[in-house]
Amino acid sequence: MGITVDSVVIDTTILPLKLREMNLIIFPNWFQPEESLLLDLERVIRVSSTHPDRNQMTLLIDTSSISDEEANLVVSAVAMNLLMQEDLDVTEGPEISFVGQLDKMQWEVLLLCLHGRIILENENQQAINQAGVQTSPSYELDSFSDRRTGQFFFTWPINSFRKEDGKKRSLNIKKFEKFNPEMLNSIYA
Residue pair 88/82 in contact by the 8 Å Cβ criterion: yes
For residues 3 and 175, what is the distance between their CA atoms, to the nearest angstrom? 9
- Residue 162 counted as domain residue: no
Number of domains in the chain: 1
Long-range contacts of 16-19 (CB under 8 A, 24+ apart): 16/97, 17/58, 17/60, 17/97, 17/99, 17/110, 18/58, 18/95, 18/97, 19/58, 19/95, 19/97, 19/113
| C-alpha distances in Å from residue 75, one per residue of 34, 46, 68, 136, 174 | 12, 12, 10, 25, 36
For residues 14 and 184, what is the distance between their CA atoms, to the nearest angstrom? 18
Predicted confidence at residue 60, as pLDDT, reads: 96
pTM for this one?
0.76
- Residue 183 counted as domain residue: no
- Residue 186 counted as domain residue: no
Predicted confidence at residue 144, as pLDDT, reads: 66
- List, for residues 14-41, the tens digit of each pLDDT value: 788 889 888 999 999 999 999 999 999 9
Predicted confidence at residue 23, as pLDDT, reads: 93
For residue 49, give the CATH number of its domain: 3.40.50
- Residue 106 counted as domain residue: yes
- Residue 118 counted as domain residue: yes
* Burial degree of 105 (CB within 10 A; 0-12, 13-18, 19+): middle
Residues of the chain with pLDDT under 70: 1-6, 9, 144-189
Its domain, for residue 37, covers: 2-153
Predicted confidence at residue 39, as pLDDT, reads: 95
Query: Which among 141, 136, 149, 76 is positioned nearest to 110, based on CA atoms?
Result: 136
- Residue 181 counted as domain residue: no
